[in-house]
Structure 1
Amino acid sequence: MRDYIRRLLIAAIMALCVSLLFLGGKQTEASMQESKEIKAGWIWPADGVISDTYGTRRGTHKGIDIAGKLNAPVIAVEDGVVGKSYYSKTYGNVIFLKHPNNYVTVYAHLNKRLVNTGQEIKQGDRIGMMGRTGESTGVHLHFESHQVEWTFDKKNAIDPETLLGHTEVGVAVKGGMASSTNILAASTYVNSEKVHYIVQAGDTLTSIAKKSNLSVAELKEVNQLKSDLILPAQVLVIQK
């Protein structure tokens, strides 16, 4: 009798463990699906060139920097509510947006803030103008993303690339474009009195040279290219 009861208990415990594993798997799957939906829906907050990425400066840089023009529009990456809009000694003019699914985004060093605390914002709404206020060495947008809430020690910070898409220093991005398409958007970008072109799939140096009224040799020289090989998303200088 005791052996029978023991077997029943063991069977019950095993069934409970299997149920918990099944539920955990479902929750993980749902969490992954939610993350994919967020990633697919977010847009870049400004036009410019990536000048710094997450985790640099010995791990202290908890965002990405987009260098651009003074007073260039800065937009909301997703629907949300303005949690804070104020002037900080370090961030300068800064805006915090609270988004669905427990995310907070930060837009810092703005020349001007265009929204107030408590204001409801739609994705793509203009919330500020790019600047160099606070502790900033040049005109750019410092953008951060956090889970649940922003804290002074930034313990909840996550790499914005997980929500916006992969990028790297020197790559041009376009505000308002979705992560899957913005890096490859057919466009030019003016920065530091130079015109840049983002290489598209199917582009060749010859085709870009024709568009730019340059010879292939001139294009290679100005970009210090040693071969004719170019890759999609590569940024080329096409005019000084």
Structure 2
Amino acid sequence: MKYIFSIENAEEYEKYQMISEQFKEKLSAYQSVLQTKYKLVDLPKAIIWTTPDLATSVFSEVPIPAFTNKDIIYMTPELSAWKTLFLKQLEGQDYPEIRAFYEQISSNQVLAIAGHELTHHSDLFLDDFEDDRGDSIWFEEGMCDYLSRKHLLEEQEFEDISNIEYKLIKLFKDKYGNHSLEDFGSSSYKGSLTSIMFDYWRSGFTVKYLVESKFQNDVLRVFEEYHRWDREGRKVTLLEYFGVVNLFD
């Protein structure tokens, strides 16, 4: 997998190249975990490290500067850009604890986002990620969050971000929670930043609950049930199959 830079001046190149070098060893170790345990067979061709502006206005129109397009990952590694984005999720509301958390996040959180994008390439996921999938992407998105964070964050960092996102779910439930998580799909990205992230938060929490509460921390058993649901013909939604339709009620 190649590391490519798409930036507009030498100063940005030097900064992004330094960050890339800092990430490289940990991403490589996580890649090995995915290849050994989670059926990562075909690697993406490249990660293109780019600026927030280029990521969200040239390479994509989605307001989140990290995404996979076919076999290439596009992402900004800039910590300050991610802090700005995470604070924007609050929609101007004053939530001091959440604001303080995002103001103090480390580059590990950005590294985990890169890991999330890499995890999408695992062959354990049933549907082609490259397709413009209209709905039901919650399992893959949630599992990509869970695995990347579990392996790339410190244990306390993992619990802290999980707790913050659960608080965000509760805070924005009345505003953005009037649809099933099964509806999370390509059309979701036409909404506001917070409405998009709301479904990411719910996806991550649902998968964490499945792994840690329903399947006793056995990720592969969760995948086994996911594949059984598919083999049996997807007779009900995946939320129904796992018994988590009302998880946020």
Whether TM exceeds 0.5 here: the answer is no
> Which protein has the bigger helix share?
2
Structure of larger gyration radius: 1
TM-score with structure 1 length normalisation?
0.24
